[in-house]
Structure formats: structure tokens, C-alpha cells
Amino acid sequence: MAWHATGAMRVVVALGLVLVLGARASAHVMVLPAKSAAGGVERYTLMVPTEGSSATVRVELHVPMGVDIAALEAKPGWDASNEPFPIGAATVRWSGGRIPPDAMMSFDFLAQNPPAAHVLTWSATQWYEDGTSDRWGEGAPPDHQASTTVLVAAGGGGAVAAQGGSAGHADVHGAERVIPPSPDGGSSPALWIALVSLALSVTALFIAVGGGRRRERS
């Protein structure tokens, strides 16, 4: 039994290393979730890490065609703005704050998805305190890929509930409101990542223990 426990722990440790190394390798500006309902209302989260030695002071997200921005999070210390024009080149922006090196921050926004099922591509630009900038997606280096969200056909009308409440199409279309800051300062995506990692670790533990028991019986 001791051998099986040790083997299970090795599986858990290996899985943890893969998750940690994978997170570091992909630590770039991204938009979550990776999947949403076509024609529905979604509360998106823009994740912004500062990987270099200079703090992030501004981030601009290029909104995919057909996405209608309804509200931006009021992040303390940051100014949020929505530029819906020109058509096809809409942007949302947070500026005036500061994300120190080796730290990250999340910015939420509420949007209505276009009705057709397809893939949304989120390009972004990140500015730093020393005057430099990074692009993610269009016009960026190959290792600075754009974040994507797959829109899937939704049944029953296609409206989805935003986190923390429900919103119909008529409530948000064409409106611009401010989402109050989350009580934890916007760290909820990090909490979800930790919970997913824990769930995967527990699953690996059960698989390893179950495999060991089957070998004992045989």
C-alpha cells in the first residue's frame, strides 16, 4: 500500500510541475472564457501579466467584429474606456494604473456575442512604464499569439447568464455601464485555475490508486 501511495504522489507532483511550467510558458495577455454561446451575453475576463522588468501601465484590447461591449469593470486606480468606432476596429482600454513586474491583474467586461457560431480572435497591446510596448495577436511575433474564444450555437434563444446575475439581450444591447470591482481585486480567475489544478490532481490520485489495486488483484 505504501508503494501505491508513493506512486500516486509521483503522479500528482508530475502533474503539478506540468501545470506550473505550462502556466509560465503561456503567461501572456489572454481573454477568458475560451468558449461561449453565440448570440449570448458573456462576462469576459482580460488577464494581464507583467513578464518584464517594467510595470504595465496601459492595456488595449481590440474587439472582434460583431461583439457589442455593454460594460467595463471599474478597476480601482484605472481609467476604463470603450471606443466602438470605427466599425471593425473597436477597442476597450484600461490605463492610469500599474501592474508591477511578476504580477498580474484581471479586467472584466460584459459583451454580447454575435449570433453566428465561429471563433473570436482577441488582439491586444500592452504598454509599460519605460515607454515600450508588446503586441499580442495581429502584427505580433509568432510567440505572442492572440487569445481566442469559440462561439458555439446556443439552444433556447441563445442568451447566457453573465457571472453574478442574468441579462437578456434587451438589457445590454447598445448600453455602456460599469461593472463594480470584485471584492478580491479581480483575482477570481486565479482561484478558478487553482481549483482546476486541484481537481486534476485528485483525479490523477484516484487513477493511480485504482491502477495499483487492479494490479494487486491480478
Using the 8-state DSSP alphabet, how is residue 56 labeled? E
Closest CA to 99 of 183, 187, 20: 187
pLDDT at residue number 175? 37
**Is the model's pTM score more than 0.85?**
no
pLDDT tens-digit map of 146-189: 999 999 996 644 333 333 333 333 334 333 344 555 444 444 44
Biggest CA–CA distance in the chain, Å, is 68
Closest CA to 104 of 72, 75, 137: 75
C-alpha distance across the termini of the chain, in Å? 15
8 Å CB contact between 130 and 14: no
Give the number of other CB atoms < 10 A from CB of residue 155: 7
CA distance 69 to 112: 7
Residue 19, classed as helix, strand or coil, is: helix
Domain segments of the chain as ranges: 28-185
pLDDT at residue number 154? 66
User: Higher-confidence residue: 183 or 63?
Assistant: 63
Q: In which band, very low, low, confident or very high, does the pLDDT at 140 lie, cut at 50, 70 and 90?
A: confident
| Range picked from 5-14, 39-48, 87-96, 205-214 for highest mean pLDDT | 39-48
8 Å CB contact between 36 and 42: yes
CATH number, span 28-185 = 2.60.40.2230
